[in-house]
Amino acid sequence: MIRKIGVLQKDGRLVAVIVPETDEISQGEDMNSSMREAIEEEPKRLPSYQRISGYAISREPLEYPRLGKLRRHLLEERYDRAKRGRENGMAEGPVAPREMSEEDRALLEAPAAMGVWELLAERFPDRRLAPETSPQPDLDIDSLG
């Protein structure tokens, strides 16, 4: 499932740039949920300071020079770009309700759900926001946020 992973420290937390296996890319949402499970569930036996607290999926391969060492100085820019969705050709910002599936639009009919959606859209206007967005890994929101 994970072809390559580059881990870096950003704002005092460990985050990762993940390049999935090429055949996994076409699975779309299944890939994202599997990736989220691998990052959030598997490392629970690790101390909190060793856990990855955020990740971004990159379709571009990580860069290695001839010596074979990862070019770590490029990871932060790659992470930021993938997090914003620019790398994958996705538009920035929240998904418009008219672009959502019928089930997702039905969820937003509840006033509380619509209120949360509007709050997140206002708070993260430059981030890719969709119903499947996870607060901690995708928006960097912790329990205090």
For the chain, the structural domain boundaries read 2-139
Q: HSE (CB half, 13 Å, CA atoms) of 62?
A: 26
Tokens of 56: 């971004």
Within 10 angstroms of residue 141's Cβ, the number of other Cβ atoms is: 15
Cα–Cα distance measured from residue 105 to residue 44, given in angstroms and rounded to the nearest whole number: 34
Q: What is the pLDDT of residue 98?
A: 79
The pLDDT of residue 134 is above 80: no
**What is the value of pTM for the model shown?**
0.54
DSSP state of 94: B
Residue 122 gets the label, from left (phi > 0), alpha (psi -120 to 50) or beta, of alpha
Pairing of strands 54-57, 2-10: unpaired
Tens digit of each residue's pLDDT (9 = 90 or more) over 53-72: 888 888 777 888 888 888 88
- Of residues 87 and 30, more confidence is placed in 30
The pLDDT of residue 145 is above 70: no
Sheet architecture: strand order including 13-20 = 2-10, 13-20, 54-57
